[in-house]
Structure 1
């Protein structure tokens, strides 16, 4: 188990080709920590499902990835994962990755791909665990009527949520987390150590 001294919590999000954690491909990997961002688009090897495309604006045409009709630079998933590990390695440890609904989606997809590309050992050297902010929001505010990022953004930030961009979602989540200001025990209760 990791030491709890001054964890660095990096907020991350994945945009994917769909919602099946066993088969979906990542189309964007984004993260936020204070003034530092990570943003990589990845050309998927399977079609983007219609619902995912509607939410993210991502489409593939001619072997290229487009976001709302604009072509974006892509990298191979292996390179994106290695770059992400390097990005996380620049922070003071232990590093915890925080995502909304992490336990049921983001960490499962990420861990599957890290294992597939034999990057888990390298990842584990810089990341100690995952914080699920969906569970955290339910623990901190049990009387809310919905815990989607959209509803939480409206409730705590007074704005409309229209992101579905991995970096924007990670930044939004970081803002919410800072407003909630959870204590160590709150965080510990929703952390899954690796």
Structure 2
């Protein structure tokens, strides 16, 4: 990408998004979709057609009983898959074709998203609502390549760089944390352009195994990276758009 084109990326809004799914297989289905852009927030749930895999249920706390979704044993208000996707597209359109940003989305989240869009006939509408996708997993590896990290799992990056823990495996908490992390990493437009891809690319690459999605562990006693990343984090108040 040319320098002028890379600089144009800095003018686009950013939407950080994440999915929780009913498993980690290639055919998994979304259960929760969350997105945040500054103070704008979207958080929606849907009942998957296939059962929750035991491992996914343990990690996320989601259960499905008699076609109703429960989170940590509490009933959750849900929408149909189409309603969730239409709400997401509306959210994106209000921000003027933003960049869609997420952690490890190229090999994981974008796959069930693309399948759902195809099944509901909303693929074209979705793709016309964004300027592209950016995966913060390889982006973080490039920005932090001199920091000696052994794991680039989002939880570990947030702990090492921001010095905080958060409720991981809840899509809304994941995107809130990722937005803060991204602003601290502060990648240049040139770096962002190197990790820009289209939704169609996710269906052309070999899926990554579940263990890679989870990330490798950090070395014991590894110190925080405050000295490597100096830009202060600006606390943001995020207003939740409940389903």
Tell whether the structures are fold-level matches, with TM greater than 0.5. Answer: yes
Structure 2 runs not aligned, ≥5 long? 200-243
Is the CA contact (8 Å cut-off) linking 1:107 and 1:130 kept in structure 2?
no
1:18-167 superposed matches below 5 A: 18-21=23-26, 23-93=27-97, 95-142=98-145, 143-167=148-172
**Structure whose CA Rg is larger:** 2
- CA offset digits 1:99-126 (Å, max 9, x no partner): 1001101112211211121101111221
How far off is 1:50 after superposition? 0.9
TM-score by length of 2: 0.75
Is the CA contact (8 Å cut-off) linking 1:99 and 1:132 kept in structure 2?
yes
Separation in 2, partners of 1:181, 1:157: 13
Secondary structure in 2 matching 1:12: strand
Aligned residue-pair number: 191
Is the CA contact (8 Å cut-off) linking 2:96 and 2:129 kept in structure 1?
no
CA RMSD between the two structures: 1.4
Structure 1 runs not aligned, ≥5 long? none
Aligned to 1:174: 179
Separation in 2, partners of 1:20, 1:130: 22
| Residue 12 (structure 1) aligned with residue 17 (structure 2) | yes
